[in-house]
Structure 1
Amino acid sequence: MEHWKRTIERANRCFAEGELVDAREHYLQALALAQVLFERWSDADEAVAACVISHHNLADLHLRLNQPEESVEYLCSIHQRLLHTMQNLRFKSELREAALRHSSKTYVELLNFISEHGEYPRSDLLLKNTAAQSSRELSTTSGHIPGVH
């Protein structure tokens, strides 16, 4: 975790100083660390937060570079990863719960991006698939109430 934090801090300094190429390199290194250690960190909430922060920082960087298509890819990627983590029983319950908690932030960030920059094919597809899946889940559970015949 400390190595990830130092890498993010270096990237943030570069970003603040306008050294965007260097910032991107450090953000990509931080993202790689967060992804590799995602299931291995002892604190599931920190693991998910590191992944979210890494993706969101890259999204912000690409907005600064006037590359909204790249930005939305990072926003969609992390939101989709959290949705997958929440649903995959292969992951420890602590990690699934942390993904659920952080998914509200990734969802809001994605909606804020869309309201400011418009929809893109990946964001449109992700939100439609999420809505469709939620509808299917509701229809399969609302038709049957356990214990009532």
Structure 2
Amino acid sequence: MTMRRFFLVSVVVAGLAVTACASPASEPEVPAAPAAPSSAAVAPPATVSPPVTVTPSPDPLLPSDPGIPLPDMSGKPDKPLEITVTGQVTAGVEPGCRLISDGRTSYLLLGGDVNVAKVGARVTVTGTLGENVMSTCQQGTPLQVKSVRAG
């Protein structure tokens, strides 16, 4: 019975702690302004100045003529990066997947002559890095093969 009571008390305390943290903060009370004595003179209203209008100046970094095209600032080249890798073709973890490594990066071979770029062969592969490519191979940077030669 003691363990059951301890559990019940723990649940109640935890519930109170959570509800205390979740309750919204109360609004601070604004003190009431003291009443002005009846014999006090009323001050004249303050003068109100017209609102200030701010006109932003054009951004000096952007062309003011919308007909001028802005340069591409995405950092991506206009065409895919072409690379050449020489190494030994290895089998991937999934059937039919072939990889080649330059010592730092492992590339997944997409396409190319499978009779030349067969597992175990030493080859030189030229291709472009695949962007937004899905594969069941689950390893290596996709490399769309343009040419492959033994050696």
- Fold similarity call, TM over 0.5: no
Q: What TM-score range do you get, normalising by the shorter chain?
A: under 0.3
Instruction: Tell me which protein shows more helix as a share of its residues.
Output: 1
TM score, norm. by length of structure 1: 0.16
More strand, by proportion? 2
The structure number with the bigger radius of gyration is 2
